[in-house]
Amino acid sequence: MSSTAPDMGRRDGSFEREPARRVFASELRECRYQFKVGEDEKSPTFVLLPTGERSNRIFVSGTLTEKTRQGEQNIFYRGRVIDPTGTFFIMAGSYQPEAMQQLAKIETPAFVAVTGKPNLYQKPDGSFLVSVRVEAITVVDKETRDLWVLDTAAHTLDRLDALATGTSPDIVKAKEQYPTLDPAVYRKIVYDALAQIKM
Amino acid sequence: MDYSEATERISRKFKKSGNEIDREKVEGKLRRLIEEFGVQPAEAERSVSNELTKEFNIQPAGPQGSPGAGGATGEKVIADARPGDWVTLVGKVVSLAAPASPAIAQSGILADESGAIRFVVWTKSNAPKMKEGTWYRIESAVVDEYKNIPNLKVHSGTTITEIDKTDPLIPAPSPVKELRPGIGSVRAKVIQEWDATHDRMLQSGLLGDETGTVKFVIWKEQGKEKLAVGSVYSIFYAQVDEFNERLSLNITSATIMQEDGDIATATGGDVVVRGAIVHIAPGSGIIKRCPVEGCNRALSRQNYCPIHEIQPKFVYDLRIKGWLDDGEKTHNLLLKRDVVEALTGINLDQAKEIAENNPLGMDEVFLQMREKVLGRYVACKGREIENRLLVNTCERMHFESGEHAKLLNRAGGVP
């Protein structure tokens, strides 16, 4: 296998892999602030989640409803992954050959689990798009998707609790960047997501 | 045997300087020295008393009279020798190591009651050869630092005189947690043995006592023997190195005594990590290992072992390396064969069958296992060592309606 992702390059001992945050589609969609830590070309890029946490990587599980092949010379795949709250836009190109092959093979619709890096783009019309560059994607069962909803609900609630009282740099920045954010709305999103899981 | 009398004497001695001793601890130390190490009672009492002197930071009222005169080449006890000092030390050569270069005539460890220090005798110094087990007075040597460890340098201006002293030295083992770079002694159990990562390495692994664990290494030298996993050893005068803020014990030239009995070790406790497997690393699936006894390294595709070269009679094994992510932290995972078999439902024989008959060979096993594991929620139980979780059991997590209800309440409740 030749899938040594660039982030696997381990600098002796000091390397710590960025954790994959758990975030619902409807929260990720609201990201408007992206920043870099360090000056290096390879320094990690983060999007700031409205609930007050930076994210360089996310882990999501949902239903892959469609995928399209695009490009002539540089083939890449786009896909849509649906969670109970909205849609994740995922893509895998020739820089992620393993991920692209995995995505290409999957027959839609299917429950999938995706690990990837969120990126914030501004479209020519001025609107924003958060797209997820896939590092790994696999077909999973419904139970995994349900576990993800619980997991993501718990993490989102944790972030909301911290947002109410916390003073971390990310929380301060989030309040500055997303001044109209209403925590009650996100709490409702979490509730609705959970309510969609049938017992 | 009753140690209360000796303890009482020690207690009285320290009361004079206003210090209160921990009787239980002192008695325990005496008992260990006498019963486990066969030290004479009088010597044990002296040794414990000296240790306390150091602990309470009292200047020893030695026959030399005024210590701490602090002259340029003042006579010091080893524990007080600091990098940059010109010193005169009286100590016993407790071990000699094979010189690493022709420029070095001798190197080893010099100890006194207060502690121990590494020394190096330069070939150019024309110093007389010192013998292991003999006491010397080393006048006008320099203390410097080598790899953050104090080091005594014997140069051409140093005078070495053998002195007539036969005092046995019993270093007090320190708890593993309290080891510091330099020279240290421990009483610990061999918890694990690891694959040798170097040709010249005889053995490496993990030592532990009830306070913690530390990596150890023995380099190949004449007469060196491996330690037995599960046995307890007293290790005197080991070199404590620091690398990336992690300590490691080089015990190649240490004095090692195997002991009877067992001690409790800080297992670090088995940790349980729950999360999603977000990456399966290359080198997972079915692998080939070097069949040479004690090697067991993973072979390359061409059956090449970094040490033993081509090994056509390799042994198959299963493993999974990857990352487990709980949303806050990512844990590097290593799953052994039985854990892999239980998690993937593919056993070694089936994997062999696939590897030998499928056109993709070993890659097919990797792909099939990845399909079954990647993106799944699991609970892994194991030991975290050097940032890697060595997994003993790994089970798929299941949906719990109780958890679901709790979260619904939490989300619906007024914050």
Spell out the SS3 assignment of A26-81.
HHHCCCCCEEECCCCCCCCEEEEECCCEEECCEEEEEEEEEEEEECCCCCEEEEEE
Q: Does A114 contact B415 at a Cβ distance shorter than 8 Å?
A: no
Q: Does B276 contact A187 at a Cβ distance shorter than 8 Å?
A: no
Handedness of CA B281, B287, B288, B294 (dihedral sign): positive
pLDDT less than 50: residues of chain A: 1-14
The CA-atom distances, in angstroms, between A175 and each of A31, A46, A161, A180 are 13, 16, 14, 8
Q: Does B329 contact A19 at a Cβ distance shorter than 8 Å?
A: yes
- The DSSP H or E segment spanning A98 is helix A97-105
Q: Is B266 on the interface with A (CB under 8 A)?
A: no
Q: Does A138 contact B371 at a Cβ distance shorter than 8 Å?
A: yes
The predicted pLDDT at position B31 comes to 86
The predicted pLDDT at position A9 comes to 38
Of A19, A147, A157, the CB nearest to B325: A19
The predicted pLDDT at position B267 comes to 60
The predicted pLDDT at position A11 comes to 38
Gap from B275 CA to chain A (nearest CA, Å): 9
Q: A16, A142, A151, A160: best mutation site toward chain B, by most B Cβ within 10 Å? A: A151
ipTM of the complex: 0.90
Q: Does B411 contact A190 at a Cβ distance shorter than 8 Å?
A: yes
The predicted pLDDT at position B65 comes to 36
Q: Which residue in chain A is spatially nearest to B412 when comparing CA positions? A: A191
Let me know: does A89 contact A78? Beta carbons within 8 Å.
Answer: yes
Dump pLDDT digits (tens) for B49-102: 878 887 777 654 433 333 333 344 567 888 888 888 888 889 999 888 878 788
A89-95 contact pairs (CB < 8 A, 24+) = A89/A129, A89/A130, A89/A131, A89/A132, A90/A114, A90/A116, A90/A131, A90/A132, A90/A133, A90/A134, A90/A137, A91/A131, A91/A132, A91/A133, A91/A134, A92/A133, A92/A134, A92/A137, A93/A133
- Nearest Cα neighbor of B121 from B90, B79, B157 is B157
CB atoms within 10 A of CB B58: 14
- Mean per-residue pLDDT of chain B: 85
Q: Is A147 on the interface with B (CB under 8 A)?
A: yes
Q: Does B401 contact A155 at a Cβ distance shorter than 8 Å?
A: no
The predicted pLDDT at position A43 comes to 86
Of A13, A143, A155, the CB nearest to B327: A155
Pairing, β B246-250 against β B212-219: parallel
Q: Does B411 contact A157 at a Cβ distance shorter than 8 Å?
A: yes
For chain A, the 3-state helix, strand and coil shares in percent, each to the nearest 5, are 30, 35, 35
Q: Is A97 on the interface with B (CB under 8 A)?
A: no
Q: Which residue in chain B is spatially nearest to A20 when comparing CA positions? A: B327
pLDDT less than 70: residues of chain B: 37-39, 58-74, 244, 266-269, 413-415
Q: Which residue in chain B is spatially nearest to A156 when comparing CA positions? A: B411
The predicted pLDDT at position B81 comes to 83
Of A115, A139, A148, the CB nearest to B279: A115
Q: Does B328 contact A19 at a Cβ distance shorter than 8 Å?
A: yes
Q: Is B244 on the interface with A (CB under 8 A)?
A: yes
Q: Is B223 on the interface with A (CB under 8 A)?
A: no
- CB-based burial label for B174 (10 Å; 0-12, 13-18, 19+): middle
For B349, what's the count of Cα atoms within 13 Å in the CB-facing half-sphere?
Answer: 0
Task: Show residues of chain B in contact with A114, CB under 8 Å.
Answer: 375
The predicted pLDDT at position B38 comes to 65
Task: Show residues of chain B in contact with A191, CB under 8 Å.
Answer: 408, 411-412
Of A2, A136, A195, the CB nearest to B278: A136
The predicted pLDDT at position A161 comes to 94
DSSP state of B10: H
Of A5, A147, A199, the CB nearest to B377: A147
Of B330, B403, B415, the CB nearest to A164: B415
